[in-house]
Amino acid sequence: MVLGKVIGSVVATQKDESLVGKKLMLVKAIDLEGNLLEPFVVAVDVVGVGIGEKVLVVNGSSARMTDETRERSIDSVIVAKVDSINIS
Amino acid sequence: MVLGKVIGSVVATQKDESLVGKKLMLVKAIDLEGNLLEPFVVAVDVVGVGIGEKVLVVNGSSARMTDETRERSIDSVIVAKVDSINIS
Amino acid sequence: MVLGKVIGSVVATQKDESLVGKKLMLVKAIDLEGNLLEPFVVAVDVVGVGIGEKVLVVNGSSARMTDETRERSIDSVIVAKVDSINIS
Amino acid sequence: MVLGKVIGSVVATQKDESLVGKKLMLVKAIDLEGNLLEPFVVAVDVVGVGIGEKVLVVNGSSARMTDETRERSIDSVIVAKVDSINIS
Amino acid sequence: MVLGKVIGSVVATQKDESLVGKKLMLVKAIDLEGNLLEPFVVAVDVVGVGIGEKVLVVNGSSARMTDETRERSIDSVIVAKVDSINIS
């Protein structure tokens, strides 16, 4: 899973039926201190996160293993809100 | 999903039957301001987009989860036309 | 598989049911001498590793082929603790 | 799909049965003007292309969706010979 | 498939049952002249290769399509020993 921060959202009316009713969030990768990195992805939110929150993103076929995304044309999904990052 | 802009198309006559009848579009990655980035991909259009439009591209096995691409040798598909990008 | 070192963990309460009860470890990529590299990933631990240990990480759909991760929305898993790296 | 140019081939006698009888071509990525880029891949040719031709390469699990590659240990396949690239 | 050279091996006692009895080889990417590049991967050897040999590596779900790796948590496999690279 990739660590990221929710920075916005995307609106798309004309789309494949796979995406109908899905919340499309903009997630930027972050480093371990929480600083924003360059890469970003548009991911479907299945846990209910808000702007500015740290999240875990699952990519690829595993992104279709949640109830909301199963067998849909979705390759990126927010699967968790991160409470804390613990470096030892 | 990856954010991109449609910049052209590809014509291929000699091809695997997976691709017969599919529209092959050139999509360049864009940043959050809509500026073109270097990476580009050839993606099958399943929503009907035009040149210059911002789109969402799904890659990998999830690209086969639309009605038009199912079980085909296709690893990149345009699944949505982007209306707006909202940064908070 | 990717070579990495466990450097910490992530706590997430609000998450998809795929991740319930899973240990989420922070793993940084390492070079062949064991030096930490920049990329890192959050991976589910299925073998019981500790902080500072060298591990092998499986990514993508193969990350769902362990008993603990099957059919879950997980794309990165620690599948082994590395005893030694032998360069010839 | 990735745009590339066929620059050579690979011979391998000792191999998994997945690859028996398959033509292994060297394909270098190209930019939109047809200039060779650094990355290259070894891809199975299922359409019959020649050296110097521009092609489309499918990677990942979708590379197994042609009749010649189904259920084989192949992650890269040439699915089309490119006739023209049209930038608008 | 990716072109690489076998440079060593990895020993791991504590591991997922997917990896039991599998030979874990260190493979470094090479360029077309055979020079070692930076990226490396730990791949399961299913064809019987030796240190210093040039090989083809299959990554992702296709790495599970050999008899030895089927349905295992393995995302990288050596599928061939390369006899020659022919650039035209």
DSSP state of D21: T
Q: What is the mean pLDDT of chain E?
A: 98
Residues of B in contact with D61 (CB under 8 A): 60-61
Q: Is E43 on the interface with C (CB under 8 A)?
A: yes
DSSP, collapsed to helix, strand or coil, labels residue B76 as strand
B26 contacts chain A (CB < 8 A): no
Residues on chain D touching E84 (C-beta within 8 angstroms): 10-11
Q: What is the pLDDT of residues C39-61, one digit of tens each?
A: 999 999 999 999 999 999 999 99
Asked if the Cβ–Cβ distance from A60 to C75 is below 8 Å, we say yes
User: What confidence tens digit (pLDDT) does each residue in E19-54 have?
Assistant: 999 999 999 999 999 999 999 999 999 999 999 999
- Which residues of chain A fall short of a pLDDT of 50? none
Q: Which chains touch E (3 or more CB pairs under 8 A)?
A: C, D
**Model confidence pLDDT, tens digit, residues C62-76:** 999 999 999 999 999
Could you give the CA distance from residue A57 to residue D83 in angstroms, rounded to a whole number?
A: 38
B15 close to D (CB below 8 A):
yes
| Interface-testing mutation among D56, D67, D74, D78, with chain B (most B C-beta atoms within 10 A) | D56
pLDDT of residue C4: 98
Residue B14 contacts A, CB cutoff 8 Å: no
> Which domains can be identified in chain D, with CATH numbers?
2-81 (2.40.50.220)
The strand pairing partners of D36, in sequence order, are D30
Cβ pair E1:D61 closer than 8 A: no
Tell me the nearest-neighbour CA distance from D68 into chain B, angstroms: 10
Given this model, what pLDDT does residue B3 score?
A: 98
The token pair that represents E49 in the structure block:
């290769």
Residues of B in contact with A74 (CB under 8 A): 1, 58, 62, 65
Please give chain D's pLDDT, 88 residues, in tens. Answer: 999 999 999 999 999 999 999 999 999 999 999 999 999 999 999 999 999 999 999 999 999 999 999 999 999 999 999 999 999 8
Taking one residue from D and the other from E, the number of pairs with CB-CB distance under 8 angstroms is 97
Of A50, A51, A56, A54, residue with least CA distance to A34? A54
CA A72 to chain centre: 15
Q: How many CA atoms lie within 13 A of C12 on its CB side?
A: 31
CB atoms within 10 A of CB B79: 29
Are B85 and A8 a contacting pair at CB < 8 A?
yes
ipTM of the prediction greater than 0.90, yes or no = yes
Nearest one of C12, C82, C74, C11 to C43, comparing CA atoms: C74
The CA distance from B12 to the nearest CA of chain A, in Å, is 24
Contact D59 B75 (CB under 8 A): yes
| DSSP states of C41-68 | EEEEESS---TT-EEEEEEGGGGG-STT
Q: Using pLDDT thresholds of 50, 70 and 90, give the confidence band for residue C88.
A: confident
Q: Do A47 and C9 touch (CB under 8 A)?
A: no
Distance of alpha carbon E76 from alpha carbon E84, whole angstroms: 22
- Closest-CA residue of A relative to B1 is A42
How far apart, in whole angstroms, are the C-alpha atoms of residue E1 and residue E6?
15
CB contact set of A17 (below 8 Å; sequence gap of 6+): none
CA distance B60 to chain A (A): 6
C-alpha span between B60 and A87 (Å, rounded): 32
Judged by CB atoms closer than 8 Å, whether chains meet at A83 and C26 is answered as: no
Work out the end-to-end distance of chain A between its first and last CA atoms, rounded to an integer number of angstroms: 19
Other CB atoms closer than 10 Å to residue D9's CB: what's the count? 17
Q: Which residue of E has its CA nearest to D53?
A: E88
Side chain identity, residue B32 = L
How close, in Å, is residue B88 to chain D by CA atoms?
32
Sign of the dihedral through C-alpha A49, A52, A54, A55:
positive
Search chain C and give the residue with CA nearest E53: C88
